[in-house]
Chain A
Amino acid sequence: MPTLVELRQVNKYFGEHHVLKDVSLTVDTGQVIVVVGPSGSGKSTLCRTINRLEAIDSGEILVEGTPLPTEGAALARLRSNVGMVFQSFNLFPQYTARENVALAPVKVKGVKPSVARERATDLLNRVGLAEHADKLPARLSGGQQQRVAIARALAMEPKVMLFDEPTSALDPEMINEVLDVMKDLVAQGMTMVVVTHEMGFARSAADRVVFMDDGRIAEACDPEDFFTAPRTERARDFLSRILPH
C-alpha cells in the first residue's frame, strides 16, 4: 500500500519545552495507527501537526508525497482531506446535527445544499443518529455529539482521519457507541491515526501501535507484540499501570 502520511525527523517546541523529538512515522493507505503513551508525552501534539493545527519547528511532514502546506488556500485544501475528531467534540452549537455535517461540504467544497443535506442524513444514519438529525448539539449526549462530529469529518470525504482521544470526555457507558462507529470505519478501510487510552480498541483495530514517551516514539510495533511483549521498560511500566490485572 502507498504511503499516505509521512513524518520525518519532526521536532516541535512549545517555547523551551521540547515536545516532539525527532519523530518519524509512516502511515500507509488503509492503515490504522493507534498512538498511546503517558499524559504529556506529545500524543495530541503529534496528531495535531498532521493537519498543522500545530506548526513544527524542524523536519518534514508529507501527505500523499507532497509536503504539508504551511498556510493559505493550499493548507485549507489539505485540511479538507484530513478529518479531525477532537476530544471535546467542538460541534457548532448554533447548528443542528445535520447542519453541522452539511456545512463544510456546502461552504468549502461547493456541494449543492440539497445534496449535502441528503448526504448528511445518510452519514448520521450510518453513525446511528438518524432520528437526532434535527437536534442542536446541546440536546445530544456526549456520545451522540462525538458521533455527529465523526459524521461531520466524514462528510468531507477525507483520505485520513485523525482522532485525538475521542472517548476521553465521555461517560463510560457512551464510550462503546463511539468505538463501534470507529470500528466500522476501520472495517471500511479508512486510514486512521487514533490517540486513545482504549487498549481494547488498540488491540483489535490497530495495524500498528505507536508508544510515545517524553516526545519520542519509544516503540512502534504490531499490537499483539506490544501488548504481550513490550520491548522497552517504559512501555512495560505504562501497560502495567493502564491494563487491568
Chain B
Amino acid sequence: MDAVIDNIDVILRGFGATLLVTLLALVLAVVLGTATACFRVSPLKPLSAVGTAYVGMVRNTPLTVIFFMVVFGTPEVGLNASFTAFAVVALGVYTGPFIGEVLRSGIQGLHTGQGEAARSLGMSFGQSLRYVILPQAARDVVAPLGNVCIATLKNSSVAMAFGVFEATAAGYTLANANATAVIQILAAVAVGYLCLTSLAAVAIETVEHRVRIVR
C-alpha cells in the first residue's frame, strides 16, 4: 500500500494524461464521425462509398496497428509531432467510425413514417431534419455515444506503448520499479479506471434518462 501512497502523484499525473488524450481524441473523433455519418447517409454514391470504406477498414483494424501507422508511418512522409499529438490522432482516427456509426444508426433507426409525416406537412429536407429527425436521433444516441466515450478512455491505454506517460504507463513503470508492490500498484490503476468508467456510466445514464422520449 505504501508504494501506492508514495507514488500517488505519479499515478494521478498519469490519469491526467489519460483524460487529456481521451478528450482530445474524442473531439477529433466527433468531427470525423459526424463527417462519416453525413457521408454514409448522403444520396451521393461516391460519398457514401468513402464513408463505408473508412468504417469498414478502420473498424476491422486493431488500434495498435493504427498507432504504429501514425507513429512510425507519418514521419516517413515528413510529418512530425509530439507523442501526445500522435496518440490523439491515432485514437481519434480509430474512434471516428464508431462515432459515425452511432450517429448514422441514430438517424436511420427512426421509423420511415417520421420522415414521410414531416414531408407530407410540406417540410423541406432541412426542416424535417431539423425539427423532426435530429431531435429524436440526438436523444437516441446519448447512451451509445457514452459507451464509445468509455471505450475510448480505456483504449487510450494503448498510448502507453507509444511514449505517452498516461495512467497505464505510470502503472507499468511503477510496477517495474517496485517489485514487491506490483499487485497493489496495478490494482490502484485499475481502480482509477473503474472510478472513471463508473462515473461516466452514471453520468450517461442520468443524461439518457433525462432526455429519453417514450414512443
Contact = CB atoms under 8 A, between A and B. Distances in A.
Interface stretch (A21-29, A89-97, A181-189, A228-236): A89-97
A103 to B, nearest CB: 6
B213 interface: yes
Contact of A53 (B119, B124, B131, B132): B119
B154 interface: no
B136 A90 contact: no
Given A88-B113, A90-B114, A76 B132 contact: no
B199 interface: no
A92 B214 contact: no
Interface string A74-91: 001101111110101011
Interface residues of B, number: 21
Nearest to A106: B131
Given A77-B122, A104-B122, A138-B213, A86 B116 contact: yes
B122 A136 contact: no
B55 to A, nearest CB: 28
Nearest to B115: A90
B135 interface: yes
Given A88-B113, A103-B131, A108-B127, A93 B136 contact: yes
Contacts of A84: 116-117, 120
A138 B121 contact: no
Contacts of A79: 119-122
A94 B122 contact: no
A94 B136 contact: yes
Nearest to A91: B117
B210 interface: no
Contacts of A73: 124
Interface string B74-104: 0000000000000000000000000000000
Contacts of B121: 79-80, 103-104, 108, 152-153, 156
A94 B123 contact: no
Nearest to B211: A94
A73 B116 CA distance: 16
Contact of B132 (A51, A82, A92, A137): A92
A241 interface: no
A107 interface: yes
A136 B214 contact: yes
A88 B113 CA distance: 8
Contacts of B139: 94
A94 B212 CA distance: 9
A90 B116 contact: yes
Interface string A46-85: 0000010100000000000000000001001101111110
Nearest to A80: B122
Nearest to A82: B120
Given A86-B113, A93-B214, A107 B136 contact: no
Contact of B127 (A107, A149, A153): A107
A94 B114 contact: no
A149 B136 CA distance: 18
Given A76-B122, A108-B122, A136-B214, 15 more contacts: A51-B120, A53-B119, A53-B120, A77-B122, A79-B120, A81-B122, A90-B113, A93-B136, A103-B121, A104-B123, A107-B123, A138-B214, A149-B117, A153-B121, A156-B121
Interface of A: 51, 53, 73, 76-77, 79-84, 86, 88, 90-94, 103-104, 107-109, 136-139, 149, 152-153, 156
9 contacts: A53-B119, A53-B120, A86-B116, A93-B136, A107-B131, A109-B122, A138-B215, A156-B121, A156-B122
The 3 closest A-B pairs by CB, nearest first: A80-B122, A90-B117, A104-B121
